[in-house]
Amino acid sequence: MINVCKCCKKGQLKIVDDFSIFGLVTSDCRLWRQPASLGFCLKCGLIQRPNERLWMEECEDIYGSYIPYPLGNNSEPRKFDQMIEGFEKRSVTVLRNFKEQYLREGVRNWLDFGCGDGQLLQNVQEEFPSLGLFGVDFGEKYRNQIEETSGATLLSRLPSRSQTFDIVSMFHVVEHLSDPVKDLKTIGETLSRRGLLLIQVPNHEENPFDLVIFDHGSFFSKRTLELLLNKAGYIVRKIHKDWIRKELTAICEYHGDGIHPDDQQEETEPVQLQQILEAHKGYLCDVIREAEEKLKKHKTIKVFGSSIAACWLVGEIGLENIECFLDQDDSKWGSKLFGKDIREPGSDNLSEVVIPADRETKLEVINTVFCSPDHSKQ
């Protein structure tokens, strides 16, 4: 039933109309003009899109022509990491932390579920060269690339229980699943006795732009992610919010039907959720308003960033009003987004730049890029 929660399977969904005023984008940075409902479970509080037929059909269309990391030479985006004082791919940061804190001796193999073009598997191979690597994805498009770059074996489906895996990773997969509890249980059956599931999902509480991604079916907080994993039969060892900003990284063990979370833990307060959603809506409206105000003073504006939030802003204010995109990731310099140049931030005046990012990131960009000594000298 489309009006029943994907997580607890008990609560009814309350549909919110507030977000219908915004355009949507796909997770591979395409404008998507079709609308999609948004709601939350009145029992467990998971924010989600109901499994409406048209939405699911549109998602199939998106995945049929999906391009992982369409910019930066189709390479995974990099972020600044304070530990190494430089830019690093996000998955490399996660793998490094996982290796230091959780990897045990005797691990034989690694399965990446939803492996896409195999970039995570390539990073796993570089970090753990002795492991047998496997990937699952429902297409043959990247088979040769995966096998050549990582040496992994690409599977079209999960193997039977006769083959088990010591590590299974799911990076930015769970939020796309129409029945995440069922799929996580199936994956759990493939884990070895001491196997670990390593999951990454966006954290909507830190990133309002997550809610404008059309093909995301679930929008997680730390609490609702743990509740989902418990429902699917996992004991969560820890959910890290600090490994990657705006993302949740969960490490968990599968115990099957032995996990029965207390129903009291599922109860949520609808008023509080409504307030969170209203705050997210207000912030998105503020970003649009800021862009419109700057367009009154300048013929065009520059947009800082070239991923989901930047693409969404294009849909809201129109491509004709954008001069170019600015990005700190040098792998994107010289590329184009919607036909507009992506270039390094230089002597740009903040009065003509819009930074569509969460508050913390926006403040950091202003202080480190536009108010830095190097920028002021230019």
Distance separating alpha carbons of residues 346 and 348, to the nearest angstrom = 5
Q: In a structure prediction context, what are the per-residue pLDDT tens digits for the chain, which is 378 residues long?
A: 568 899 999 888 999 988 999 999 999 999 998 999 999 999 999 999 999 999 999 999 999 999 887 665 556 666 655 544 456 788 999 999 999 999 999 999 999 999 999 999 999 999 999 999 999 987 778 889 898 889 999 998 888 777 899 999 999 999 999 999 999 999 999 999 999 999 999 999 999 999 999 999 999 999 999 999 999 999 999 999 999 999 999 999 999 875 655 544 556 678 889 999 999 999 999 999 999 999 999 999 999 999 999 999 999 999 999 999 999 988 889 999 999 999 999 989 999 999 999 999 999 999 999 986 555 444
Q: Which two tokens stand for residue 257?
A: 């039907």
Report pTM: 0.93
Give long-range contacts, CB 8 A cutoff, 24+ apart: 205-210.
205/276, 206/241, 206/245, 206/246, 206/358, 206/360, 207/246, 207/358, 208/279, 208/280, 208/281, 208/283, 208/284, 208/358, 209/284, 209/308, 209/309, 209/312, 209/356, 209/357, 209/358, 210/246, 210/308
Distance separating alpha carbons of residues 96 and 93, to the nearest angstrom = 5
3-state secondary structure of 220: strand
* Contact predicate 68/119, CB 8 Å: yes
3-state secondary structure 294-330: HHHHCCCEEEECCCHHHHHHHHHHCHHHEEEEECCCC
pLDDT at 376: 46
Contacts (Cβ under 8 Å, ≥6 apart) of 168: 110, 111, 112, 113, 187, 190, 191, 195, 196, 197, 198
pLDDT at 258: 55
The residues spanned by each domain of the chain are 13-64, 78-266, 294-377
Q: Which two tokens stand for residue 23?
A: 């355009």
Partner residues linked to 253 by β-bridges: 235
* Contact predicate 318/335, CB 8 Å: no
Q: Which two tokens stand for residue 55?
A: 């939405």
CATH architecture of 78-266: 3-Layer(aba) Sandwich (3.40)
pLDDT at 72: 54
pLDDT at 273: 92
CATH 3.30.67 fits 294-377, yes or no: no
Q: Which two tokens stand for residue 197?
A: 């599931």
pLDDT at 342: 96
pLDDT at 269: 74
Decide whether 78-266 matches 294-377 in CATH topology. Answer: yes
